[in-house]
Amino acid sequence: MAKNDLVVVVPGIMGSTLTQHGKPVWSLSGGAIVRAVVTLGRHVKDLRLPNGIGDDHPDDGVEASALMPTLHAIPGIWTPVRGYDVLVKRLQSIGFRLVSTDPEVPPGNLLLFPYDWRLSNRYNGRELGKKIEWALDRWREQGGEYTDAKVCFVCHSMGGLVARWYISQGGAEVTRKLITLGAPYRGAARAVDQLINGVHKKLGPLSVDLTDLAKSLPSLYQLLPSYACLTGSAELTYLSAAAGLPELDGARLDDAMLFHKQLEDSERSDTASGSRRHAITGTKQRTATTVEFANGVVRLLDTYENEDLAGDGTVPAVAGPAGVPLDDNSIHHIADKHGDLQCNPAVLDEIEAILLAKPIVPKAAAPVDLRVDVPELLLEPEELVVAVTAPPGAPAVKATLTDEAGVVRDVQILRRAGGDQLITNFGALPPGGYTVTATGRSPGIVNPVTSELIVWPRTVEY
């Protein structure tokens, strides 16, 4: 049982607020996601990283201050994510107490690790080690049952790479559990699209600026797929084997592939690696898995050797731990999107069960899984169309539209569009961030799937 251990929460890319010389450059104020992206755009020249930054910090005054609490996204860098308040509150509800730097406050065993997600995962893995050493020593100093406390990680998305690097560089000795939620163990084809094609919809000058920022990030390169993902030959080949992939920096690509190799080599030589790992992964969603490069154009495909293996809409099923079969019992499959896994009730129940080592019935476990297609980005006044694929005989499905303030704006029952396809149209929406949750018309039958999206204003005041 890990109740006396130090639990460390590591968010994904974009999941930490950033300040520069003490002023917010990436944070949410009152849930205004459009305003947050515009603020980032204003500072983008200062936030771009210099060539050759490697695993260092540019000393540009940027610091991470907190975990993003609610829905956040940066068009052209990654997918929308709901935030970490729900996860943190759940961990607190089962007895874990936040770590404080105030010496007058009793030691806590819930450490939140915001980090500068622009930087290399190697750099952030080192910084994670410093925070853990301080917090774990203070927790152990209580003596008695706390003397031999270890670390249990709960990591979302890229946070899993940061924690794995820390573990590989000596942290294995004090690590009891590694719980990952949608972690791209071997990258994601989605990153190829982000780095090469950038923002698909032209959002004024912001689109160019954010694409340039994305291409300067070592962390985004380290999200590139290390598994064989290139189509076009008799068998799939590796990204590093491609000749003339546009926009990708060769040196950064090589270093990213080395990063993945170093992690995998370390885990192969660590006999306890498999037993401490609990990989929770999203499934059933349409997910970019392989890359087609022809006539100078990059196109993402949802199939792997002509088979749709799905994933969480961002990280494909094939990007799990190296050498681990997709049906291995160390992988826990939940039908939901990448940006919602850390808020999914069944995932939270699974985390609780792993940490407390007692039987819990997953509240969201259900016999019917859905595939939900929702655009991640709309340009005002485009209409929001929600499409759902449900198995034959599935009960009626409803979609609930919630704005970034948490207010339910609409609930619609999807209509049949032929075969196993269901559809509904919420019409044109005001600019802002939204979530769409598809579930059964009656509770307890259909496993809910939540998608996040941004509606971008036609004109933006910079």
CATH number of the domain residue 237 falls in: 3.40.50.1820
Residue with the bigger pLDDT between 276 and 44: it is 276
Q: What is the DSSP string of 289-306?
A: -EEEEETTEEEEES-BTT
> How far are the Cα atoms of 39, 50, 62, 216, 252 from residue 21, in angstroms, in the given order?
15, 18, 7, 20, 28
Does 72 share its domain with 192? Answer: yes
Nearest Cα neighbor of 117 from 33, 40, 181 is 40
Does 158 share its domain with 291? Answer: yes
Does residue 461 fall inside a structural domain? no
Residues 6+ apart with CB under 8 A from 264: 322
Which of these three, 365, 390, 422, is where a domain ends?
Answer: 365
The encoded tokens of residue 16 equal 């930490």
Nearest Cα neighbor of 268 from 223, 225, 318, 323 is 323
Q: Could you give the 3-state DSSP secondary structure of residue 376?
A: coil
Q: Could you give the 3-state DSSP secondary structure of residue 408?
A: strand
Question: What digits encode the pLDDT tens for the residues 71-110?
Answer: 999 888 889 999 999 999 999 999 999 999 998 999 999 9
Does 297 share its domain with 412? Answer: no
Would you state the torsion angle of the CA atoms of residues 187, 193, 196, 201, taken in this order, to the nearest 10 degrees? -150
Does residue 120 fall inside a structural domain? yes
The encoded tokens of residue 109 equal 């065993």
Separation CA 297–CA 193 (nearest Å): 11
* Residues 40 and 439 sit within 8 Å (Cβ to Cβ): no
Can you give the pLDDT at residue 359?
Answer: 57
- At 368, the pLDDT band (50, 70, 90 cuts) reads confident
Separation CA 56–CA 89 (nearest Å): 33
Q: Which domain holds residue 429?
A: 371-456
- At 448, the pLDDT band (50, 70, 90 cuts) reads very high
Q: What whole-number percentage of the chain has pLDDT above 90?
A: 73
Separation CA 384–CA 123 (nearest Å): 40
Does residue 231 fall inside a structural domain? yes
Question: What digits encode the pLDDT tens for the residues 175-226?
Answer: 999 999 999 999 999 999 888 887 666 676 667 678 888 999 999 999 999 9
Question: What digits encode the pLDDT tens for the residues 17-69?
Answer: 999 999 999 998 766 898 899 888 888 889 999 999 999 999 999 999 999 99
Question: What digits encode the pLDDT tens for the residues 236-258?
Answer: 899 887 777 778 888 999 999 99
Does 31 share its domain with 167? Answer: yes
Residues 6+ apart with CB under 8 A from 325: none
Question: What digits encode the pLDDT tens for the residues 130-187?
Answer: 999 999 999 999 999 999 999 999 999 999 999 999 999 999 999 999 999 999 999 9
What rounded mean pLDDT belongs to the chain?
91
Can you give the pLDDT at residue 1?
Answer: 52
Q: What is the pTM of this model?
A: 0.93
Does 361 share its domain with 382? Answer: no
